[in-house]
Amino acid sequence: MVLTRDRALEILKKKGFTDFQIKVLLATMRIPKGETVTYKELAKMIGYPKAYRAVGTALSINPLAPQIPCHRVIKSDGSLGNYSAPGGTRLKRKMLMAEGAIKK
């Protein structure tokens, strides 16, 4: 079942996420499969260009991964950054490779 933006919004509000956290997570849903954006780019996308660390914090508590594909957000230097789901960065790499976003 595909998670819609409206359903995600409903779930995130019910769970008590802040407006900022919701903006981050909903913007993440717009990252196409096979592509990545940086934490900094995502911060700019939501209108908070200097809040890239806060973006990372919001992504780290994503309760709807991988439907909200926080694994598609990487560091500005091209490294993967963290992934808080079980399997951590190894799983993030595997998912991005499967989507064709990165090579070995």
Q: Just list the catalytic residues.
A: 70
Judge whether 73 and 55 are in contact, CB under 8 Å: yes
Residue with token string 């919701």: 22
